[in-house]
Structure 1
Amino acid sequence: WESSITGGSTDIELAVKFTPSSAGELYTARFLFSSEGQTGYDLSPVEVRVYSVGFDGSPATSLYVADEFTEVTVEDQWIDVDLSGEGIVFDDQGFYLGFRFTETGGPGMGRDLDGYVYGHSYVFLQGEWFETGDLGFSGNFMIRAVAGLENTTREDVQELVTTANVIHENMENVAAIINGNSTGLPAYEISGEQNITFPTQSVRTDSMTGYNVYQVLDGADTLVATTDPGDTTATISVPANYVEYCYEVSASFQTDSYGLISSKKSNTACAVPFTSGDTDFDSNVSLSDLLSVADYVLEVLVPTEDQFRGADVNDDRFINIQDVVLIVDIIYGSSARTLPSFAESIAEVSMRNGGGTSLLLDLAYDGFIRGVQFNLTADLSDVMFGSAMLNELQEGVMINSHTLEDGTTRVLAVNLNGGLLSFSSDGFITIPVTMNTGRGDRVKVGIQDIQLIDQNGESIPVNARGDGSVALELIPMQYALYQNFPNPFNPVTEIQFDIPDISTVELVVYNLMGQEVRRLVNGEIQAGYHRIVWDGLNNQGEPVSTGVYIYSLTSPSFHSTKKMVLLK
């Protein structure tokens, strides 16, 4: 070995993959700890661990976790750990042997850099296993295993090593593991004597029979389920929800030499069963659960961790309108939540100004809608949103809104009877607004995070038309013409007037003889608050003289005149 390495964390494990192509039982673990190439590590204890080889070649089921830590007392010498009484049985896929660090300062593990072969030495880091070469510090960990292989006696053990360039006294009982293959290895010369080759392992004829699942109880563990070799999932019925149940798993093998054998049980894993959609823990999904989930979506209530798990029906780590629709399906026994959506079209949502007193949401979609959720953004010092309502009243439809902590207003609508939401070209949802702005000021309202749910409980692709916003502006209730300002003036003044509906309007300035001096407006204009400036020029672009002038606002349903004075 030319180097060494340590973990620096108690969550890190080091392991070596052994693939002798034969089933067997592990008797001894051998570790060579070292500070080679480093400034020195602490001789802290380690926790020996053994794993089976998964279908993807990575560590899988735990075959062994030591009950006690192994003390590391020396460096640069082999330390043997007796495992002969632990019943650690592995199949023909091999096993991983290694350890977990119990302290952050050491010990260091010896590393063979010159003899490195990819696929042997692995590190468990941040919840995943990585080969050392993939992490940028390739090298074989100095870990070996003594095992009894199939078709051998307990006394006829073989030492499994990770490199072939190591000379042993008893060469005929050594199986070297090179790149996952123990056959076809080269010969090695020992002190000038004859070449000795490594033996080829026998072909195994036994097989794995499956997995055993045991429930961990105070008295004794109870076998509750078995699975086939290729099935790594077991479904277990329990008497009650919201109670913790704990389990352990072992693997079973049918061998020619040992008959039916089982591996050591895995670490204990615990789970708390629950009913999806149930937030009050009565194992029943009802309207009260539905209303609670709606409050979670609107952030009126904050769910606990257990309530969140029950409310997140589709298990996407979010609570939204889709979960609300799926809970409706659970309550009414619909199978919609298990059906795929065949909708291919994209829905389009747009907003328009409802005369400054409301916000209108329009929906263009050629399919069916069961639920909707969206957020409105605006400066709440300028506008306040009222309770949203559907343009077409429907029995059994719940539509609620709530202002979130960040100032956005969330709107949610769903048919509690499991039916659809009606919408038409006249509009989908109306939201009353109260504007706190000056005359003619505008307020920008945006729409974000739009979610539409179809008849199958699936999300519908949706786009917001334009930039997803609309400018709200108060619309006057009646016509009005105001006194110009300033008055008297020289030579510029402003005239303000109100138009309640789109209309053809004339705004004309006359002299006291009734002659037209300047036509300021002549045509169709939009409803709203308007202002226009007269610069004291006539229709020919010539300055007018000092005097009193009359200005008149005329529409098909309104006429008003006022006087103003030009002083030079």
Structure 2
Amino acid sequence: MNTGAHTDITLTNSPTLIDGAIYTVSFGATDLAGNSATTVSTTGITYDVTAPTISSTTPSQNSYINNTKVSYTLSESAASGTITWTRTGGSADSNSPHAKALAGDELNTGAHTDITLTNNPTLVEGAIYTISFDAKDLGGNAATTISNTAITYDASAPTISSTLPAANSYVNHARVSYTLSEAISSGTVTWTRTGGSEDTNSPHAKALSGDELNTGAHTDITLTNSPTLIDGAIYTVSFGATDLAGNSATTVSTTGITYDVTAPTISSTTPSQNSYINNTKVSYTLSESAASGTITWTRTGGSEDSNSPHAKALTGDELNSGAHTDITLTNSPTLVDAMYTVSFDAIDVAGNAATTVSASNVTYDFTAPTLLKVTPAADSFLPIADNSKIRIDFSEPITAYNVDASSKLGTNLNTSIQQDSDSLVISVNAPLTSLDTLTFKVTNLTDRGGTVGDAIEISYQTSILADYNNDYKVDVQDLANFVSLWPNLDLGPANGTIPYLTPEMDGLANLRDVGIFTRMWHWSYANNGASSKVFTSIGEPITINHSSDKIIVPIPDNAVAGEILLQYQETDIDLGLSDEVTENRMVISNRDAVQGLLAVNFGYMKQMQNKELGFSVQHKGKSNSDFTISYVYYDVNNTVVNMGTQDFDLKAIPLEFALHENYPNPFNPTTTLRFDLPEVSNITLTIYNMLGQKVKTFNMQSTPAGYHSVTWDATNDLGEQVGAGVYLYQLQAKGFVKTRKMVLLK
């Protein structure tokens, strides 16, 4: 009750008012003197002891915002209010805290939704704040502070990067890749068809979920909400995202993405299974272009290949869709002569792998076929009267060839050919022409791989007709064959000119065959001759009987043919063959008078006993002559049974008795009396004078045949010289008597 100011006091007798009531407050006073003051009254005084409440605040706790808008509800109008942003983390904010007073309508009671304050704060990107709401009502009651913590201020939109699939790519799946600059609250990957196969469900907008919303790289993932795409359709793939603060990323789109889940097919491949080839060319057809492809050669047999397998990548045009026919790869393998499995692989641009196509047992043969062996050997003889077969063996099987058969003499050849895997058999049909050369030329010799070998030329000689042992001669050995085969042989008749005869066998053994053999023997002798020979002794020497006028050569019983050569002095004697051909014996002879050589071949067509050959001798002079007999005999097996050479001295023996003119005549003091004895004789040579008286007698007993002479020295039987004059000399021998005159001069 004291005088003076009483400020903001609680009365001792304080009233109990009713909250919310409106009062008029009147002040009255009586001083100590009893004076009453004029009553002072104030009206419209509201008694308010209830604090205001703040509710429905945003941003909420742990939220992300990209603006400074706020929401709150006041239970009553406030006399004042403040919203304070206090940094608690994240980016630094040097101006924190940001206490912003409410103004104007912002103080009104009721809801204030998503408003931008008149006093709007400037926040820092990436900073984390606690937002506190404060208010006092008109009664001065302060509201309980409302604080929302961990509010991140984020005004930057998220970025989407490193997206896959890439533009204009091919995929065989719906997997995607992307990188988020920050975690997002929502995101969508949308596949929108722009071409290719129809897709009635396009677009396919697929929301991201779970970890797919997290910040960072999401690589080659299959979305939880993966789309069902259409094979062959072309899409634009769009990536959208909104972060926790509601910032929307710029949409990232990739165009021209082809969805391809169909694997490429490889067809029409060569080389084919079980084939043979001589090059590394290949053929294949791709149903679509490939991103990569490989052809692999793996050795499975044949020659060793240390570099196997040969995996060769396709390049350039080799990867294009369509047919690739008989091409040489850019990366061509180097193979050996071996067996391989050839495998074709391809992956299309979407990554679909084709089913491997393999061809097994492919034999690569780069080596040309060559000649291994010829049977009979080249340059050997082909029989002219019998069919022949020529076998040509090659280094490997062949598939093609040409054979040209020709005759040096121009004979039309009758041939046929049989092919085995790795050989040819050429049948040459008789008859052929004697002494011909046949040439067989094999060209275009092609193996299973198609490699062509060099031309092969093979020549043969045809036998000489009647040359049974093919020694280019028709001689005694062939005669031995001839008579041994008789009558089971056939040489003729024959056409042509010696020696180029073509037999036309008649199936008979007769004189035609003998004649052909004889003609061929004479041709051979004329071309080869039968020069003097000295035969090595085989067997016991034969006993050859000879006299002045004949020679008898015995033939062994087991001999069927033989040759006898008589070499003589043609100036001294002439030799002749006494025996000729009979029905059981062939005798062929040739005389060379210049060389003094008589060659005789003989053959017996029938077994005989006491066989011999006789030769006649005619002396050309009175002197003795030596000669040589060479002989060889063959049995039925053409084996030598006897062979040898013997030398003889053949005495000159006259054919008749004769007394010849003495020499000299006239004479002094001696003269020679000559006489001939054709046989051994006892002779008397008597000299008479003209009176008939015996002057000298020469008695010569058993005088051998031959040419003889006696010298008279003009003496008588007493050894006395006789006088000059005419004398007679007389030869007496076996009834032969001959007298001649001679004159002695003094």
TM-score (norm. length: structure 1): 0.42
User: Relative contact order (alpha carbons < 8 A, sep ≥ 6): 1 or 2 greater?
Assistant: 1
Tell me which structure has the larger Cα radius of gyration: 2
TM-score (norm. length: structure 2): 0.34
* Structure with the larger strand share: 2
